[in-house]
Structure 1
Amino acid sequence: MGRISMPQGKGSQLHNRRDYEKIGKAIPDNIQSYRTYQNVTIVDKDIRAAYKEIFGNVLQEYNKRQKRADRRIDDYYEHILKSKNGEKPFYEDVIQWGSMEDFRADPRLREKAKECLVEYARTFEARNPNLKLIGAYVHMDEASPHLHLDYIPVASGYKTGLQARNSLDKAMKQMGYVPVKESRINNATKLWKEHERAYFGELCRSKGLKVEAERKARGSLSVDEYKEAKSNMLDGLKENKKALINEIADKNKTAYELLCKIKQQQRELNSTKKQLEDIKEQIEKYKQQKDTAEKELNDVLEQIAFYKGDKSIALMSDFTLLMADDKHVQLPAIQKQIEELQRKYDQLKKQPPQIKTIEKVVEVKKEVKVPVEVPVEVKKEVLVYKEINVDYKSLHHKLANIMWRIYDKLLQHDDLHAAFNSAKIKDDVEYNDIAIAATESDDIIRGIDQQIKRNAKSR
């Protein structure tokens, strides 16, 4: 829906005629030159020629009546330019329907607006006989189509001086626009403009354009109409105020809720940051404790690995590598050999028939004093038994020696001592069993050796 507007123009014929290039001036930015061909010029008169046409006869009659040369007026146009009564050589009004937003929304309205403006200009003088057009220009090369009306107001019926003169107020009143209570804001020109806007509005409606209702000013309303309009306006303002207050309250509530959420999230973030800092501090403490423990352990290991004397034992953190008699001895390897010898020893301990026979022979010999022949196979078994037993005892004693030396060194550090005891290296049950078995095997070997020597002497 478009609004009818009719402001006063600047009255620039250079702008109206688009004569910028003719005088070497740049075209203003608001003018779309590619649309200038759509402009329509309805009236375009030279102002001096128009003054001669309008006031030539009355000026000639006036000069004839003047007896003094200094009272004569040679050129009425120049006379108006020099006048101090406030007259203008011509007046301009710009009339249009709608705004640039209306035409952007529907560009097809431009042609309808153009049609209305052209028809309005062509009927202008018929409605306004006291306003003589010297220019009527429809501009289509700007954001909104509009019409520039340049006119000279002509009032007649003067008893003295020129019978027809340039007078805007009297020209309006002679056309019937006489205010009831005339004032600066309630004058003939104002009434005329209201009439012209109303006429142009009806013309636009007839062409299919929607026109916004005319806005009345206080000067054109009666007291009762003014009071009613004021009351309606105040009621509307109150409703709008109430709606705005409610809207602001809702927005304030929403903003407060958002602020509370932001503060809560900030508190949670600060708490998370503090927890993270605490964790970092704990990690740092653990790192320091770990570094301290590693350093202390390395110091202990160095003390164990390097001690005075020609022989040394290098104790590693996992106790898997030892150094004895300047040679590397691996505990797992020794343990494996011990387990293998233990297995063979257990088999011999079961006392196969040959060994049992030897024991009986020894017992009989003690009582009968008769030489006993020992079979060759039994001798071989006995030799194997001795060899296994000797190797087993040698390895076992060697391991025991190593263990005791390690244990003696471990006594210097309480923590490692406790770890060593927990591993049951010192009081190993298997070690005690092996030691007892070794003692028993020594008695058997000594008895067999003595019997063999007796047999040899008797032969």
Structure 2
Amino acid sequence: MGNVSYSAHISNGKSAITSKSKLLGVAKHNLRKYKSPEYSSDNILLLRGTEDLYQDVKNVYHQEFDEVVQQYNQKHKRADRRIEDYFEHVANLEQDMAVEIIFQCGDKKFWEEHMDKKEKMYNVYAYLLSTMERLLPNFKVANAVIHFDEASPHMHVVGVPVWEGAKKGLSKKVSKRNVFTPESLSVILQDKLREEAGSCFRFNVKEELAEKKQGRNHDLSVMEYKVAKETERLEELQREVVDTDNELFASKLAYRQVQRENEDELREIKQEISEKQSENLKLDYVISYKRDKLKEYDDEISKWEQFKNTLIMLKEYISAYLPLSPLIEEFANCVEHKKDIEAGNSFRGLLNALGQFLRAFKELIVDGVCWFPRLMRWETSKGEVAPVFSDYKNEGYDYRLKAYMNVVTKEKYSIDSIQEEIKPENRIGTLEQLEQGIVAAEEMVQEVERTRVRGRE
């Protein structure tokens, strides 16, 4: 492994977004709403959302919660129990109403030596963002932006942690604790995303990321990160001061003052982290006890509502993918006829529609070899298999069928041994099959509803 650093900083403590004013502050910083000598709009690149981050977050609230809020209000006739605007409701609870994550690969020293490769980080961060959305589907990204105007290119991601399954109040609500669990922080944010970032960084920058340090399951908080960046900036200013002795003395004095303030703030942060950890232990016990009690009172209605919500989500999922049916069909036909896939023009560096589609579903096995188990599978005598492709020009634009791999056991099979079974009638998980399942589920819902009505009569 190499020595290039990787870090993922998550908002916590004083950097937590617990109010509308803090959300506006994050928007001002991320989208450079203030002006400075270093500001350049060409170096601020949006990956998700718009130039109005605050409104982007509100839009996520409306998309995710308007329906459940309406259902909740229908059950409560008392005005003091109704929720008029869930965004305003959460903003008054003094809890995390949104979460910010900062990703960075490489420190200032590394990028001073590799200035010519800075723009390659657009590909790395775009891939890292889409991978995070896949691995953390309950973290709904509202806005993501890359900063190229600082010493190290890094990405700010702001989103809303959405948790379903609550037995009291809204069935779906904002909950940082339930989305960013110790497991998701360690396994996904620090392990899986680090591995994916390393693979993409190696492909684009031709360098290796350093291994994760043993005994550490989290990186700096966003506040610690910003304090460190401010200290780094002050050190840079200190080196640049070359005017009169008085100016040099004043700069040193100002630097030491800010350094002392930063040290005091870091001590407060560490103390706050220690106190929060102690509180978390107590809360974990209370939560565990409450969950056991809630399981005793779990009834048929809550399960039924959960099933209907899942059915709605499945219908939305299928509707979202219906426009992509021609691309899915094109991919399947190429596999079934052993055709090479031209994903774009390597000379121009552009992907065609199928190439853009495949990039979202591509899973690397090793350099130059990938497969698409989430896109299409075939039922064969060897079990469910997905095609394995080689990037035979090693440029990411041309794919050639290489083998097949069992999606469960990961055992590989040669093309000759299994190609005869790769037929349209053996496809698994097609949109048509999912639609048939939805129709059957809806008929079952209607029958159960009729049974419940007859029971009340």
Q: Which has the larger radius of gyration?
A: 1
Q: TM-score, normalised by structure 1?
A: 0.40
Higher share in strand = 2
Q: Higher relative contact order by CA 8 Å / sep ≥ 6: 1 or 2? A: 2
Higher share in helix = 1
